[in-house]
């Protein structure tokens, strides 16, 4: 498996040298400065590649785009989308021409990943990302005041949400809004409450079936280009894998992945296997999902979560939490062997340690939430140990 690391460009407080020190060689990055729907030029792609290659001794290469964002109008199916599809395909061609051929993307409406705490304190003083069900319910029901929101939360969660809202200061409420808006670092849009209400209203008439068809349309438009250029698209699961703020979610469980991979039945139409996103859903059997869709896993995010009965969850140690990471790595290594035995040129599955804890000297450095250096280094080292042990015992290629 290709050990990789997410890097946000020159604004990232984690330097490229730290990626090499962590033992990774693949760099997962994106051109966050380019607005959604605008073509990524060859010059801009090559400029990012040149940053990675500036010190050849580091041995870094851009192996995965995360992400080439999909414009919200495509998700909604709004208006004439010809130019947006044309631009997306041209960006794909330009990436392929520069040798970058794996694209991670998502189809989550409005927001990317969602947490209510970005720095939940851990024993010893570190911190982790956390989703508190009652805080999100307080936001949904009492701050956003979404019509019908109460029906999406249990009575106990609503009781705790009301208590939180009554006791919360204006600073507490502002912090919660900012945490929920944080989403994917580098995401282009942030909203205040009125703007969020307006944006949510655009989805009033979009059902799960409607969003699925819009995704299928996107795949029909772009997968032929991926096939033509030897590219792999890998959709990222919803995070968390359930409806938020009344929005439809369509990449949350095995049945969703079944629909997606069959919508355009091509090896180019694949999955980012995120053990944290899928793992936050109590309905998901991760080893079973990994086995079923192994041939379509083009990229992996390996992290772990610990779930609470009320729907809350927290980022756990990479080898802790509720997911058997050893079994997941075993499945991925076995799939790699199948690909290598079949003579596939690009048989290694790139992966990265995801959402590490903020630890030790990284505390207070201002890294993107979940993307401090030491927490991810710890996760990568743990996963590397699992990989090495399994490969040795089972004679599997790394």
Look up 134 and say whether it is catalytic. no
Inter-axis angle of helices 325-341 and 373-394, nearest 10: 60
Q: What's the Cα-to-Cα distance from 341 to each of 255, 257, 293, 346, rounded to whole Å?
A: 29, 26, 18, 12
Encoded tokens for 244: 């938020």
Tokens found for residue 48: 């990012």
Show the tokens assigned to 342: 């079949």
Q: H or E segment at 325? A: helix 325-341
Can you list the positions of beta strands (E) in the chain?
2-6, 26-29, 61-66, 102-106, 117-121, 127-131, 232-236, 269-274, 297-302, 304-307, 313-316, 350-353
Asked if residues 317 and 161 have their Cβ atoms less than 8 Å apart, the reply is no
Active site residue 98: no
Nearest alpha carbon to residue 28 among 344, 354, 318 = 354
Spacing of C-alpha 344 from chain mean position = 26
Name residues whose C-beta falls within 8 Å of residue 249's C-beta, 6 or more positions apart in sequence.
108, 109, 208, 238, 241, 242, 243
Q: Exactly one of 71, 120, 134, 236 is catalytic; name it.
A: 236
Residue indicated by tokens 């939940």: 120
Which residue among the candidates 274, 298, 330, 362 is catalytic per the annotation? 274
Distance CA 59, CA 369 (A): 26
Q: Is 236 a catalytic residue?
A: yes
Task: From 248, 238, 169, select the one nearest 204 (Cα to Cα).
Answer: 248
Which entry of 140, 355, 357, 362 is annotated as an active-site residue?
A: 355
Among residues 301, 318, 357, 362, the one annotated as catalytic is 301
| 301 among known catalytic residues | yes
Please list, in sequence order, all residues whose beta carbon lies within 8 angstroms of the beta carbon of residue 128, skipping any fewer than 6 positions away. 119, 120, 122, 314, 315, 316, 357, 358
Selected catalytic residue, list 88, 105, 203, 371: 371
129: region left, alpha or beta (phi > 0 left; psi from -120 to 50 alpha): beta
Residues that are catalytic? 236, 274, 301, 354-355, 371
């Amino acid at each position: 498996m290709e050990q990789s690391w997410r890097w946000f460009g020159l604004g990232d407080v984690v330097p490229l040298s730290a990626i090499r020190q962590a033992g990774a060689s693949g760099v997962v990055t994106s051109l966050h400065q380019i607005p959604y729907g605008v073509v990524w030029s060859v010059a801009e792609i090559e400029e990012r590649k040149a940053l990675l290659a500036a010190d050849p001794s580091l041995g870094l290469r851009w192996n995965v785009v995360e992400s080439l964002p999909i414009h919200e109008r495509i998700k909604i199916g709004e208006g004439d989308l010809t130019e947006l599809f044309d631009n997306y395909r041209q960006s794909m061609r330009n990436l392929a021409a520069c040798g970058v051929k794996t694209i991670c993307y998502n189809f989550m409406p409005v927001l990317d990943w969602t947490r209510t705490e970005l720095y939940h304190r851990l024993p010893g003083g570190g911190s982790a990302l956390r989703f508190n069900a009652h805080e999100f319910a307080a936001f949904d029901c009492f701050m956003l005041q979404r019509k019908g929101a109460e029906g999406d939360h249990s009575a106990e969660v609503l009781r705790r949400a009301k208590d939180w809202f009554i006791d919360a200061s204006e600073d507490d409420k502002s912090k919660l809004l900012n945490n929920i808006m944080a989403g994917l670092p580098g995401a282009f849009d942030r909203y205040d409450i009125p703007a969020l209400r307006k944006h949510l209203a655009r989805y009033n008439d979009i059902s799960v079936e409607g969003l699925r068809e819009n995704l299928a349309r996107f795949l029909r438009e772009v997968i032929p280009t991926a096939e033509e250029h030897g590219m792999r698209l890998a959709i990222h699961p919803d995070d968390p894998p359930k409806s938020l703020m009344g929005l439809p979610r369509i990449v949350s469980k095995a049945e969703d992945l079944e629909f997606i991979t069959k919508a355009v039945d091509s090896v180019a139409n694949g999955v980012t296997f995120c053990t944290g996103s899928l793992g936050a859903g109590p309905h998901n059997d991760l080893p079973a999902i990994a086995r079923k869709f192994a041939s379509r896993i083009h990229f992996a995010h390996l992290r772990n979560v610990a779930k609470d009965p009320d729907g809350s969850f927290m980022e756990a140690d990479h080898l802790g939490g509720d997911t058997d990471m050893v079994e997941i790595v075993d499945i991925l290594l076995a799939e790699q062997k199948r690909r290598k035995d079949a003579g596939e040129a690009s048989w290694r599955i790139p992966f990265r340690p995801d959402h590490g804890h903020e630890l030790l000297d990284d505390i207070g450095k201002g890294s993107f939430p979940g993307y401090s250096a030491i927490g991810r280094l710890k996760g990568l080292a743990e996963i590397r140990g699992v990989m090495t042990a399994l490969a040795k015992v089972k004679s599997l290629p790394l």
